[in-house]
Chains A and B, each alone.
Chain A
Amino acid sequence: MAQLTCKNLCLGYDGYEVIHNLNFEVNKGDYLCIVGENGSGKTTLMKAMLGLITPVKGRILTDGGLKHGGIGYLPQQTAVQRDFPASVWEVTLSGCQSRCGLRPFYNKAEKQLAEKNLEKMGLEKLKKRCYRELSGGQQQRVLLARALCATQDILLLDEPVAGLDPKVTADMYKLIEELNKKCGITIIMITHDIQAVKYADKILHIGDKKFFGTKSEYLQSDISKGFAKGEYNG
């Protein structure tokens, strides 16, 4: 069975539909890119996969091994308030929250996990720094470390490179690719960046026209032509 399956999924807000009848599935170890115009409902879809909004119709099925809350998540805009006083360490560790259950404090294993993920992201030196005083790229990496604390299975990334410079963007993609190839973590990434498509195995295009299939199929299809030529307004 696929790790995550969407069946006849309809999503919307207060009665109007954003996504109609969407079908796709993600297997363990896949690298899926979700593309589409602004406002086509990519973030909405991701929120539904995370269980933050309930589908209007249809279902999202997860594999037995993937329990609720076993998903790591990198939000599009950090909903975090700009003034929030928090150190990099505190933010990263908060990714372990779901492992705690009702236990009030983090145990040693969780602290080690957070430590390890900080290292993976090359953030050891920034551990004590204040999160809000970091650059955008550093903040993204902290949030990625936090997401990794929450899961070993599947990562949902909503435009992880928005606002990053070309070098940091390339680094970010490399990091994500490593997580996918070396650690076997399933990646589902929303992106406007045609560069990112080359890393993916599968593409989901949403909007007026829908597409779901492998990368090579996508690149040959008509839908990708518009996207690749930059005809979308992003």
Chain B
Amino acid sequence: MADIIDKIVLYLQYPFVRYAVIVGVLIALCSSLLGVTLVLKRFSFIGDGLSHVAFGAIAITSVLKLTNDMPFVLVVTVICAVLLLRTGQNTRIKGDASIAMISVGALAVGYLIMNIFSTSSNLSGDVCSTLFGSTSILTLTSDEVIMSVILCAVVVAVFIMFYNKIFSVTFDENFAQATGTRAKLYNLLIAVIIAVIIVLAMNLVGSLLISALVIFPALSAMRVFKSFKSVTVCSAVLSVFCALLGILISVVFSTPVGSTIVAVDIVVFVIFSVAGKLSVKFM
């Protein structure tokens, strides 16, 4: 045990590890906030679709050799989020199909582009790190760190500002709209926030695992807590805790960061499921 703590202390002296911990925790915090909304509004398919779009966008940036790929990926993902929401609202079945088309299409084209244009000698390593975020959190440049911190701050601020409106729109969209809340606008806002979160979370867990990062803490919290506020707070705490633990474990045992965090999330989910069952039994 003392060994492990020594090791952690040693690693924390490296700036890149500290960056990783800070950014990782912030990203985990952001991504957990909209988890409930995402799960219950069946927006999760949009989240999944968007993460693939972000993968495609990253492939393009790697071809264009942009030094800081985040702004480009962010813009593309936000635009797609708006488009997907539009199509999803108008025609139900076609909307689903178009999301599948865009997301799988982006994945395929992204890989193709990377394959054709990449000059890197370790192509499958690159692809793997984009999909599973294997080490990208440890290789953040200071630009990326600053940008991540700013975006996280914006996401948290917007979420708190619109917390009550997000609740109304998620709980009963028709009622909210009928009583004069601009539900469409807030849906759009939610979609944009999701897009931002996805771009952020790409760095931490890679595009394939984003949904896990967003959904698991919310699902865990929902096993035990019953009000929107307590679920939101609990999932934020859980998400931060899991990310912290996951990053430390991965640094010490050199496991891939993203999948380690998700594994911790899964363990917590199992614990909370059992706790939820027990509390029902004994109360």
Contacts and interface: CB of A to CB of B under 8 A. Distances in A.
B173 A130 contact: no
B178 A80 contact: no
A81 B40 contact: yes
Interface residues of B, number: 32
A68 B227 contact: no
Interface in B44-86: none
Contacts of A89: 227
Interface stretch (B10-18, B120-128, B157-165): B157-165
Interface SS majority for chain A: loop
A130 B283 CA distance: 14
A86 B228 contact: yes
A106 B226 contact: no
B220 to A, nearest CB: 12
Interface SS majority for chain B: helix
Contacts of A84: 40, 170-171, 228
A105 B171 contact: no
Residue among A91, A106, A133 with most chain B CB within 10 A: A91
A212 B221 CA distance: 51
A225 B39 CA distance: 48
Contacts, number: 100
Interface in A69-93: 69-73, 75, 78-81, 83-87, 89-91, 93
Nearest to B230: A85
B41 to A, nearest CB: 8
A54 to B, nearest CB: 13
A122 to B, nearest CB: 21
Contacts of B173: 79
A50 B172 CA distance: 14
Contacts of B171: 80, 84, 86, 91, 94
Nearest to A14: B91
A196 to B, nearest CB: 22
Contacts of B170: 84
Contact of A95 (B162, B177, B179): B179
Interface in A179-206: none
Nearest to B231: A85
B186 to A, nearest CB: 10
7 contacts: A69-B179, A73-B174, A85-B225, A86-B228, A105-B164, A128-B227, A133-B226
